[in-house]
């Protein structure tokens, strides 16, 4: 048999993205919503799906959904773009603003997909690591963009997996300081209730990423969107796959978005549970949780990999970052239902204290 010639050189050493999803009683590893869409919304989704012509291609740009999102955000259709999950739009970012001879500024530790997309597209990666408390090294970022070679950067706010929002005044200063495209990744915005949306009018170089996967319980459907200025969105339109958002996903997302007020109580409950989980983690000796504005809490402890295993054996799946650079000893727990959170806290207490009351 003939051998195949090597794949593109930038693939050497790249690890495929692995969510490390395993079956478990409490799935607290992927920052999903613990509650599926409610019965009323599900019935409305089914009615909408019943009307879909499956033999026809979908609207490539999902204009009906775009219009709904645009209107809710006080924008026009040409300032919104939907994608096959936020992930697709992150890849499109690297295609449109990265490439050979271009440079991406990353702020690790953060979502690993940004770095992977830059490498896939032969984009140079410049790193400004976060400070020990995981806040952004603001002076270093401003100094780095002042060098003038950065083509795009992503500021994740709240940051995944560390949890905190970026400072608003810093984001404005950054937008002023550079003509690089600044993506603010607001995948967890509904849990922080803070957005850079008001800055769009004044800053052509701002683009905001959001997703239906978290607050709107649609991780299984794959729907993300951008808010940006028309000149930026039109560049994303050039690189996107024409039919990446299929008719079924468009229909589900339209119904869910039209019913988004119904998701508010669930979001409020997750925010309250986040506080409870954080305070409870603080009381477990040897465990240091980091404050969070999202639907997960990162925490550090000795013997983190062993703790992950003990939790898993108790039926609780959390995300192990303990071997990731700058996240040594850290695990991340997504906020689940109150019962799941209780089971997680009890199992962790058991591991740390052998069942002694905190």
Point out which span in 40-48, 85-93, 192-200, 280-288 binds ligand PMP (CB under 6 A).
85-93
| Rounded (5°) CA angle 313-318-320 | 100
Figure out which of the listed residues 34, 58, 85, 289 binds ligand PMP, where binding follows CB under 6 A: 85
Figure out which of the listed residues 151, 185, 293, 352 binds ligand PMP, where binding follows CB under 6 A: 185
- Return the closest-CA partner of residue 66 out of 301, 295, 270, 223: 223
- Return the closest-CA partner of residue 186 out of 216, 166, 162: 166
Using CB under 6 A as the binding rule, whether residue 87 contacts ligand PMP is answered as yes
- Residues from 188 through 217 that contact ligand PMP (CB under 6 A): 211, 213
Number of residues near ligand PMP (by CB under 6 A):
13
Residue 110 and residue 159 in contact, taking contact as beta carbons nearer than 8 Å? yes
- Residues from 295 through 354 that contact ligand PMP (CB under 6 A): none
Figure out which of the listed residues 75, 81, 94, 187 binds ligand PMP, where binding follows CB under 6 A: 187
CB closer to ligand PMP out of 228 and 284: 228
Cα 17 to Cα 14, 43, 115, 117, distances in angstroms: 9, 34, 11, 11
Which residues, 6+ apart, have CB-to-CB distance to 213 below 8 Å? 32, 85, 86, 187, 219, 222, 223, 224
Figure out which of the listed residues 98, 224, 266, 336 binds ligand PMP, where binding follows CB under 6 A: 224
Residue 205 and residue 233 in contact, taking contact as beta carbons nearer than 8 Å? no
CB closer to ligand PMP out of 218 and 232: 218
Q: Sheet of 152-156: strands edge to edge?
A: 80-83, 224-228, 206-211, 181-185, 152-156, 103-106, 124-127
CA distance 125 to 106: 7
Classify the C-alpha dihedral 20-15-216-49 as positive or negative: negative
CB closer to ligand PMP out of 119 and 349: 119
Cα 165 to Cα 128, 145, 293, distances in angstroms: 17, 20, 6
CB closer to ligand PMP out of 203 and 332: 332
CB of 31 to ligand PMP, least distance (A): 6
CB closer to ligand PMP out of 111 and 351: 111
Point out which span in 44-52, 84-92, 143-151, 272-280 binds ligand PMP (CB under 6 A).
84-92
Using CB under 6 A as the binding rule, whether residue 266 contacts ligand PMP is answered as no
Using CB under 6 A as the binding rule, whether residue 109 contacts ligand PMP is answered as no
User: Which one-letter DSSP state was computed for residue 76?
Assistant: -
Using CB under 6 A as the binding rule, whether residue 156 contacts ligand PMP is answered as yes
Classify the C-alpha dihedral 284-317-262-249 as positive or negative: positive
Q: Give me the residue whose beta carbon is nearest to ligand PMP.
A: 85
CB closer to ligand PMP out of 9 and 17: 17
Using CB under 6 A as the binding rule, whether residue 219 contacts ligand PMP is answered as yes
CA distance 157 to 184: 7
- Residues from 11 through 50 that contact ligand PMP (CB under 6 A): 31
CB closer to ligand PMP out of 165 and 347: 165
Which residues, 6+ apart, have CB-to-CB distance to 93 below 8 Å? 117, 152, 154, 181, 183, 207, 236
CB of 89 to ligand PMP, least distance (A): 8
Q: Which residues bind ligand PMP (CB under 6 A)?
A: 31, 85-87, 111, 156, 160, 185, 187, 211, 213, 219, 224
């Amino acid at each position: 048999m003939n051998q195949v010639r090597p794949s593109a050189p930038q693939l050497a050493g790249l690890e495929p993205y692995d969510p490390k999803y395993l079956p478990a009683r409490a799935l607290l590893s992927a920052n999903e919503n613990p509650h599926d869409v409610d019965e009323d919304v599900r019935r409305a989704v089914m009615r909408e799906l019943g009307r879909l012509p499956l033999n026809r291609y979908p609207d490539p740009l999902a204009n009906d959904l775009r219009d709904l999102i645009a209107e809710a955000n006080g924008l026009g259709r040409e300032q919104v773009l939907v994608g096959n999950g936020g992930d697709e739009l992150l890849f499109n970012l690297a295609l449109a603003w990265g490439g050979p001879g271009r440079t991406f500024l990353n702020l690790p530790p953060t979502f690993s997909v940004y770095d992977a997309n830059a490498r896939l597209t032969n984009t140079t990666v410049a790193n400004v690591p976060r400070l020990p408390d995981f806040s952004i090294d603001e002076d270093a970022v401003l100094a780095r963009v002042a060098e003038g070679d950065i083509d795009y950067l992503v500021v994740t706010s709240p940051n995944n997996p560390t949890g905190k929002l970026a400072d608003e005044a810093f984001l404005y200063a950054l937008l002023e300081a550079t003509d690089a495209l600044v993506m603010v990744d607001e995948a967890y915005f509904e849990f922080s209730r803070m957005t850079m949306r008001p800055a769009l009018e004044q800053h052509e170089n701002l683009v905001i990423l959001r997703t239906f996967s978290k607050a709107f319980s649609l991780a299984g459907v794959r729907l993300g969107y951008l808010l940006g200025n028309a000149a930026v969105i039109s560049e994303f339109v050039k690189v996107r796959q024409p039919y990446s958002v299929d008719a079924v996903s468009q229909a589900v997302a339209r119904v869910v978005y039209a019913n988004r007020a119904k998701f508010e109580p669930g979001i409020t409950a997750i925010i309250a549970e986040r506080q409870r989980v954080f305070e409870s983690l603080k009381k477990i000796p040897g465990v240091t949780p980091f404050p969070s504005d999202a639907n997960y809490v990162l925490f550090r402890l000795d013997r983190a990999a062993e703790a992950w295993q003990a939790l898993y054996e108790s039926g609780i799946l959390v995300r192990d970052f303990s071997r990731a650079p700058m996240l040594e000893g850290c695990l991340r727990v997504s906020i689940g239902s109150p019962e799941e959170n209780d089971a997680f806290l009890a199992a962790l207490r058991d591991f740390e204290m052998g069942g002694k009351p905190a």
